[in-house]
Every structure is written in structure tokens, then in C-alpha cells.
Structure 1
Amino acid sequence: MKAFADLYRALDASTASLAKQAALQAYLREAPPEDAAWAVYFLAGGKPRQLVPTKLLREQARLAAGLPQWLFDECYEAVGDLAETVSLLLPAPTETTELPLSVWMTSHLLPLRGQPPETLVPALRRQWTWLAANQRLAYFKLITGAFRVGVSRLQVTQALAAVSGVDARQIAQRLMGYTHIGARPVAADFLALVAPEEPQAEGQTRGGQPYPFFLAHAFNQPVAQFDALLGPPVDWLAEWKWDGIRAQLVKRAGGVWLWSRGEELISDRFPELQTMGEGLPDGTVLDGEVLIWRDGQVQPFAELQRRIGRKQLGPKLLRELPAVLCAYDLLEEAGVDLRMLPQHERRVRLERLLAGHAHPALIASPLVTGDSWVALAALREEARARGVEGLMLKRLDAHYGVGRTKDVGVWWKWKIDPLSVDAVLLYAQRGHGRRASLYTDYTFAVWNGPAHDPARQLVPFAKAYSGLTDEEIRAVDAIVRKTTVESFGPVRSLQPTQVFELGFEGISRSSRHKSGIAVRFPRMLRWRTDKPVAEADSLETLQALLPGAADGR
């Protein structure tokens, strides 16, 4: 654990990419394969299920530190991060024991999950006596599921490529599925990541592993500049940008796997797609979007969330919320990797495959055509009414790349402007990591009545923490401290003095929220220092943005 804890501190202490890369490579060259296997899992984004209930962890840490509740709470509020708070408060270890990361994970941490309190408490107390002080932070980050250290998956991929001599694109391919929530990496898994490249025969099976997803870049230039920047529309394939779950459906050796972009295996959540995949030829990999599709039309993302959130999928729910895979690319056919074929040829093959294997749960993403960028821009204005986010633009000669790259072609996402309202800052909470000393996580509210109603009140409807500059964050932090009405735990209730324009991608009704409204991907677009609180928007404004509100539905 010592080497991994040292790596965590080195990565956390630096903002320089070169320094992070040097630390990663040094660790990967020296670590035993069984430890490196777990380190790569966590650094690349792997998160095992929660090991210990947070309430129990906090209470046992408080008791071990010998602190009253109020003092522990004050410490937590000052630090802003539970793992760091506990690592600082625990008494000195009494029998420091050095154990490898892999032994910690397999023999001590993973076995904690699901244990009753009478088993957990002595196990935790015993582990805490073993931990050297400089290893505690990494330990508690792992045990709380809050392991974030400012390293991207791309940086991990580059480090693995550097120490192995294997092309980074091949490393990215091998990493697919590595961080699945149920994964338990061992030495052989790490050695397979860094093994010398060997030619792979066409049609050679790769199990149920998906390909690295090709990601699009945002494109928001004025339409008047499109011809100069992109050339004519005839060089591009345009499709709707769907608001669903990006997924690859893999059919190999009689098996079917459905993978989300986050490398979560979601086959069991969508049994109708599993059944559909069984009818496809072996050696087929489709890239597309999982959507709820009813009456020939895509349904709001909130409907898809109802499917995701259910543990049991009964016949009634499957009838009410039928899922489809809206396919827009064919990555493998008859076991042959097609990613280096041009976009237009992959599209032709996709349409041919779907024509020969018709199924109600499999549809082709329709092409959007226009003889000019102005014409396509006009169609793009219909996006919200169609339940989509805008247009995707894919160069006809583009290959299917790895991640967000432009080296083999390009995809652009030409999204419509977000929905927005002016909302009042009502609550604030400290951030995490380097923002732990600043109030950066905000809750916003709108009025529940018109301006002439003296009884109207502010009703919370969204939380947001992105969109402000560092300078603006510091300024808001000072205002939070000056306008605090009361504190409860890490949250401060504020006098309503500040208005912000909030942007969001979607909006739906929600019985779980006091406002009756849920918004998707809220973020701060600008600080409305020019606008008084009394002129902030109302629930009526939000309700008017709901799908179907314009036609009275």
C-alpha cells in the first residue's frame, strides 16, 4: 500500500501533466503486477460497490478519535472531505503493518462489503491500527468510494503505453471493460494490458469486450462560417443527436453483451435488447443509443431513468417503457474490425445488416439531409420538439477513432442552445479536494408565484457547481460567508441576494422534487449581478419549458 499511497500523494500534489505522467510511469515500472492491476483499475475510473456504510464509518472514526459529535462535525465542515477528515483525526497506529495493495483489496477491504456491524466494527478498528499515517488518505479514499485524483483515463493509457511499448490505441482497446463495477483485477489482467502486441487474425474472437468509444467534439460556430470551416454539407453525414445511453451491442460466439460508454455491462437492464441481439450474426458489434421508443417517437430521458432505476423489470414496465437500440455505426461484421473503413462505407454496411435482421428493438438512426448548412440549421431548430439535442456531423471519410480524437477523422456535436432560467442562490456547500475550503456547490430556487403575490416563496429546484471562473468562485464564497442565515451539517442556508442564469439540457416533471420539476445537467451560465432577486424566474417559467407545454399537453 505504501507505494500506491505515495503515488496518490504525488498525483494529488501536482497539476502538471508531465509530473503526473512521470509519477504514473515510475509506479507502473516498479509495482508488482498484482498491485499494478488494482492501481490501474482505480486510476482509470474503477469504483467497486460501497464497502462500508458511511454512517457507520463516520461514527466509528469519531469514537476512535475520542471526539464529541459537534467537534467531529466541525472538523468535517472545515476539511470538506470525509476521507481526509478521518485520516487526520485517527490516533497514531499501534502496530504498523505493511501490506501490498492487492492484499488490502482482496483480503481486507472487499470482504467488508455486506458484513453486519458486529463484524465490521472490529475489522475496521484492527485495520486502522495497521495503517501508517501516510497511507490513511489513500485507504479511506478507497473505502469511501471517493477515489479521485485528477488523472484522466487518457493519462493512464499513455503511461501504460510508455512502460510497455505498446501503441496507446491498443492499450485503450485492452482497457475496455477493465473498470467494470464487478471486476476483480489480478496480475494476469495487468500483464495482458502491457503484453507485446501480436497480430490478431481476422475473425479471431475477443469475447464480449467492446471497442473504445469514438467521441465527438463540440461545434458551436456561426452557421455563416460552416462552409469555410467544414466545407460543403455533401462531405458530411448528419444525424440527430440522441439523448439516451450510448452503448455498444456485442454478439460473439453465441453470446450477447450490452455495454454502456461508462463500461458498465447493462444487458440485464434491457432484456429486449439482449433478445434482439441473439438474432444478429456472430461477430457483430453495433454502436448506438439506448432509447425509450414509443409510438414511433423517442421519449424523454426521464422515461429511460425509470428503467435504469428499477431493480425489478416487470412485464408492465417493459410494455410501458419499451427500449430500442438506435444504431448509428457498425464496428464489426463477421468478426472483422471495420473501424478503419470510412464512415460512409460503415453506414452502408449497417443499413444492409439491419435490413436483413429486422427487429422492433433495433432501428437505424435516420439521416438528416439538407442542401446547405442554412437548411440543416433550420432542421436543427426542430431538435427540441423532436426530443433530441441537436445534430451530429460525421465526415464521410472518417474512420472510427479511440476516444475524443481527430487523428483518423472527426465527429462534431452541433447542439442546440440549452434551456435557461434566472434562479436565486439559496444554499451552499463546500467543495471537495482543492475546493474543500471554498463554497462551490450551490442550490438554486425560483419563485412559486407571480411578482404581485406577497405570499410567494422561493422553491429549490436544482443544484449546480460548474460554470464559474476561479475569481467568481472566490467572490461567491465571500458572499456565502456574509449572508449565511444558518448552518446544518456542511450546508449553509443563505439570505437570497444573488441571481444566476442556469442552463440545462432537459426538463421533466418529478414527484421526487419539492418543485415538481427535475432538470438535466444544470450549470451556471452567468452571474446576473444586474438582476434583483425579485425579478428571478418562477415555477411557471419552468413549467412552460416542459415538453408538450406549448400545445397544452
Structure 2
Amino acid sequence: MKRFAALFNAIDQSTKTTVKVAALADYFNDANDMDRLWTVALFSGRRPKRAVTTTRLREWAAEAAEIPLWLFEDSYAVVGDLAETIALVLPPNDTEDKSDLSFWINALRGLADVGELNRKTFVIDAWNRLGGTERFVFNKLITGGFRMGVSQKLMTRALSRATGKPEAELAHRLMGNWHPDDVTWHQLIEADDATADASRPYPFYLAYALEDGPGTLGDPQDWRAEWKWDGIRGQLILRDGSYFVWSRGEELMTDRFPELARAIDHIPPGTVLDGELLVWPADQDKPSSFNALQARIGRKTVPKKLLAEAPVVLHAYDMLEWQGDDLRDAPFADRRALLEQTCADLPPEAPLRLSPQHPFESWDTLASLRSTAREAHAEGLMLKRADSPYLAGRKKGDWWKWKLDPLTIDAVMIYAQAGSGRRANLFTDFTFAVWNGNELVPFTKAYSGLTDAEFRQITAWVRKNTLQRFGPVRQVTPHHVFEIAFEGIQASKRHKSGVALRFPRMARWRQDKPLAEANTLDDLNEMLRIYG
């Protein structure tokens, strides 16, 4: 644990990528195999399940620190991080424990099989044995909130430096449904047959946002354009007679989309397709809204009624593997031609569609097409250089997303709630309303878009203008108008307003606008009619 705690300090105390990569590479060179394996697992989201509730941890920490629970809770509200709060309130401990990271992880996992009294004894004993950063890291492990500012890209770069293997190969090895319980360090990182897992996806290639238009991209003839769909980015993998569906967030979602199993009947094995998962009924010429897809996302099993009401297809726009061969180094135009050939004779019942490309002669022509994206239920356009390979992660230059400008509406802040982490002492989460006659009707929440200075300013105002408190939420005097930006709008039976927004955020604080000039519920419904 001491070695891992030192790594944590090195990463936490620097904002420089080079420093973080060097610290990780040194760690991967020095640590034992199980610690290295668990470190990779922790940084890629494969954390042990939480064995103790946060309620019990707060109670035990207050008892061990010999302070009343209310004082601990007030401290927690200010600090904003439970692991850090516990580390701060506990008495200092100068002892030095020599157990490694994997020992503590396995000990924590073993708590699931013992009673609460034994759990409490173990946790307090660990707090007595561990000091400084080691105690803080232990708290992070037990609370399950382990975040260290280490991206997958940064980790693969460090692994590449430590092992000498290419970053792209390592990124591919780390994809898929692996866990330290069923793989060794050698199998995951070093073995020659690391791609043997039939379900393993490829790292996704991600585009940068095109902020100022495509005029600086050169000759339009070098580029290909297609809709940027508003669905779930996914890979459909067909290998060894089975199919697998992976989201961009590296979540295996096969069971949620059973209709994609029919792809096995139409596409040969050894094929990997990149595309967008969309709800697209057979009798429609455009996909349903993202709201329809949300009904499918959270379900492990899908009833027949929902399968019929919200059928999902993969709108494929790239081919990454064909007949078992990795195509990612081939130019996009060649991959696309093979994809078109593969999809040319698909029957209507196939759960696949070819995402169409849009020919254009000039950037002005493309801009006109982009303006119609919402009519096609798309978010804008994707631009891909015809000769581009399929890279791993977010790379600038060859792939761009040219999204529509967001929709906006002016709304009144009526509720405020404190944030978390470094913003735990600021009000950052707000509820907004629009006018319905003389009544303000809440319709959305937003918590991003303002500067730290603006958050401090609005926090001071909230504290002086609170009307009522409902737990952590404060009702405030209706006074301030904010411009709310959002990507889409759908009808919703769960909200009093009857609408739900997609990706709402605060575009600006309209201190120049009086309360009476905020938008109305009729304005929202008109936007729903046009864009819903």
C-alpha cells in the first residue's frame, strides 16, 4: 500500500501529464504483478464492490475520532469527500504498514462474508494500522469512489513506456470484460495471444468538436460527411458464432439489445462494426428521439412489448474488422467501401442499417445541409478525412463533429442546492422554471456553465434570499434569469411541465433581463412541436 500511496501522491500533486506518466511507468516497473494488475483495474473502473455502507463509515469514523456525529456531518458537508473527511478527523497515526495493495483489496472484498461487528473491527483496525496517504487511499477503496485523474490514454502511455509495447495495442488489450480474478498480468499485458477473447472490442476513435466551421480543413473533396446521430455509440462484434455489443463507455450491453442477435444470420463471423444504436421503427424514415432509447438503456432484460415499441438497430458507419483481419490502419474510404458492400443486400428484417453519407461540393453546401439536421433527428454532422485510419481515443485532425448550435430558453431560478467535492461550500445545482400565466412551472435542472466567480456570487445571494429549506435544497426568491442551453427536447409524463431537456446547462446569467421577460410554458411547447 505504501508504494501505491506514493504513486497517488505523485499523481495528485502534479497537473503535468509528463510527471504523471513517469510516475505510473516507474510504478509499473517496480510493483508486483497483482498490485500492477489491480492498479490497472482501479484506473479503468474495475473497483471492488462496496462492502460497508457510507452511513456506517460515518458513524464509525465519528466514534473513532471521538466527535459527535453532527460535527462529522458538518465537516463532510464542507470537505465534500467522505474518504478525505475520515482521513482528516481521525487522530494522526505514525505507524507504517508493509502490506501491499492487493492484500488490502482482498481483505476488503472478504468483508462481504462477515457480520457488521467484524466489519467494524476490521475497518477501525485498518485506520489504526495505516497513516497519512495510505489511510486516505484505503478510505477511497472502501467507499468505492476511486478517482485519481488518470485517463485511459494516460495509463496506456505509461504502460507503453514500462513494457515497450505500442500504445494502440495496449489500449486494445485493456478493452473488454476482464477482471483481476480471471486474468493474470502476463495474460493481460504480455502474452502474444491477448486478442483471443472473442468479445473484446477495439478502442473507440473519438472526434473533436468543430467550433468555427470547416473552412480551415482544406479541400472539401478530401472529406466525407454523415449525420451525427443522437443515440448510443457502440460496436457490434460478430466472432465465433456469437454477438457482443459494447458501448463507448466500455460497458457490455449485449443482453439489452437481443434483436441484434439476428445480425449473425446476415453478416459473416470475424466482423466488427462501429455505429450508433438507435430506436428506429420499420415504418419511420427517421429515428425516434433519445428519450425512446432511454427506456432500453437501464434494462438487463427487455420485455416483448418494449422490443416491439422501441426496436433498436445499429446504424453502421465504419468497419473495423473483416474476416478476422484488423482494418483500422486502412483508409476510411476503403473501410467504408467494404461496409457498403457488406450492407448492400441486407433484408429489411436485419437489425443493421448503413448510415448514409452526404455528398457535397463546397463547405457552404454542407452548412446548408447541417441546418436541416434536427429535421432528420440528428445533432449535426460528422466530418471524416477520406484517407484517415481508425485511431484510438480522441485525436485532433481527421475526425470532427460539427454539431448544431444548442437550443436556448430564458428561465427563472427557483431552487438551489450545494455542489460536491471542491464546490461543496457553493450553491451550484439549480432548478429553473418558466411562466405559465402568473405561475412559475419548474422544467429542468442545471449545474454547469458558470465560472467559479459567478458561482460564488450566486451563492452569497442564495444565502440571503432563501424562502424555505427542504433538506439540502433551498427555495429562493424568484429574481434571477438564466439562459439555458440544451441539445434536444422531448415530451415527458414525469415532469409537471410535460417536457424534458437533453443536456441542459447554463449558457449565461442574464442579469440584464427582468423576471417578467423569462420564457413561458407555451414557448417550451412550441419548441417541443418543432424539435421534439
User: Quick check: 1:391 aligned with 2:393?
Assistant: no
CA distance 1:155–1:65, change in 2 (3 Å): same
Deviation (angstroms), 1:289: 0.8
For the residues of structure 1 that align with 2:356 and 2:107, how far apart are their CA atoms?
51
CA distance 1:187–1:327, change in 2 (3 Å): closer
**Which of residues 493, 496, 500 is equivalent to 1:511?**
493
Alignment match, 2:138: 139
Q: Structure 1 residues 320-329 or 228-237, which shifts more?
A: 228-237
Cα deviation digits, residues 361-401 of structure 1 (max 9, x gap): 11111122333322222222221122110111111111111
User: Quick check: 1:320 aligned with 2:320?
Assistant: no
**Which of residues 254, 279, 284 is equivalent to 2:271?**
284
Q: Structure 1 residues 475-484 or 111-120, which shifts more?
A: 111-120
For the residues of structure 1 that align with 2:104 and 2:233, how far apart are their CA atoms?
34
**Which of residues 511, 522, 532 is equivalent to 1:540?**
522
Tell me which amino acid in the other structure corresponds to 2:107. H
Deviation (angstroms), 1:529: 1.9
Tell me which amino acid in the other structure corresponds to 1:211. Y
User: Quick check: 1:463 aligned with 2:446?
Assistant: yes
CA distance 1:500–1:305, change in 2 (3 Å): same
Structure 2 residue matching 1:149: 3-state secondary structure: coil
Cα deviation digits, residues 121-174 of structure 1 (max 9, x gap): 455445444433432322222232322222222211111111112222222222
Structure 2 residue matching 1:141: 3-state secondary structure: helix
User: Quick check: 1:210 aligned with 2:210?
Assistant: no
Cα deviation digits, residues 446-482 of structure 1 (max 9, x gap): 13423xx2xx1352521322x2334434433443444
CA distance 1:99–1:517, change in 2 (3 Å): farther
Matches within 5 A, 1:92-171: 97-105=97-105, 107-112=106-111, 120-171=119-170
Cα deviation digits, residues 475-516 of structure 1 (max 9, x gap): 334434444455555544444443221211122233334444
Deviation (angstroms), 1:434: 3.7
Specify every segment of 5 or more residues in structure 1 that has no aligned partner in the other structure, as ranges: none
For the residues of structure 1 that align with 2:142 and 2:391, how far apart are their CA atoms?
35
Alignment match, 1:416: 404
Structure 2 residue matching 1:109: 3-state secondary structure: helix
Q: Is the 8 A contact 1:443 1:460 kept in 2?
A: no
CA distance 1:103–1:277, change in 2 (3 Å): farther
Alignment match, 1:355: 344
Deviation (angstroms), 1:243: 0.9
For the residues of structure 1 that align with 2:196 and 2:488, how far apart are their CA atoms?
40
For the residues of structure 2 that align with 1:58 and 1:424, how far apart are their CA atoms?
37
User: Quick check: 1:241 aligned with 2:228?
Assistant: yes
Alignment match, 2:171: 172
Structure 1 residue matching 2:302: 3-state secondary structure: coil
CA distance 1:39–1:431, change in 2 (3 Å): farther
User: Quick check: 1:185 aligned with 2:172?
Assistant: no
Alignment match, 1:443: 430
Matches within 5 A, 1:76-95: 76-91=76-91
Q: Is the 8 A contact 2:230 2:290 kept in 1?
A: yes
Structure 2 residue matching 1:298: 3-state secondary structure: coil
Alignment match, 1:219: 210
Q: Structure 1 residues 487-496 or 383-392, which shifts more?
A: 487-496
Q: Is the 8 A contact 2:443 2:499 kept in 1?
A: no
Q: Structure 1 residues 378-387 or 54-63, which shifts more?
A: 54-63
Tell me which amino acid in the other structure corresponds to 1:274. A
Alignment match, 1:425: 413
CA distance 1:525–1:46, change in 2 (3 Å): farther
TM-score (normalizing by structure 2): 0.90
Cα deviation digits, residues 70-97 of structure 1 (max 9, x gap): 3222111111122222232345679975
Alignment match, 1:73: 73
For the residues of structure 2 that align with 1:526 and 1:334, how far apart are their CA atoms?
51
For the residues of structure 2 that align with 1:427 and 1:148, how far apart are their CA atoms?
29
Alignment match, 2:509: 527
CA distance 1:133–1:324, change in 2 (3 Å): same
Q: Percent identity?
A: 46
Q: Give the number of equivalent residue pairs.
A: 529
Matches within 5 A, 1:303-342: 303-342=292-331
Structure 2 residue matching 1:150: 3-state secondary structure: coil
Cα deviation digits, residues 232-258 of structure 1 (max 9, x gap): 433221111111111111112222211
For the residues of structure 2 that align with 1:429 and 1:137, how far apart are their CA atoms?
27
Tell me which amino acid in the other structure corresponds to 1:378. S
Tell me which amino acid in the other structure corresponds to 1:15. T
CA distance 1:528–1:356, change in 2 (3 Å): same
The two structures, once aligned, show a CA RMSD in angstroms of: 3.0
Q: Is the 8 A contact 2:415 2:432 kept in 1?
A: no
Q: Is the 8 A contact 2:418 2:424 kept in 1?
A: yes
For the residues of structure 1 that align with 2:10 and 2:425, how far apart are their CA atoms?
21
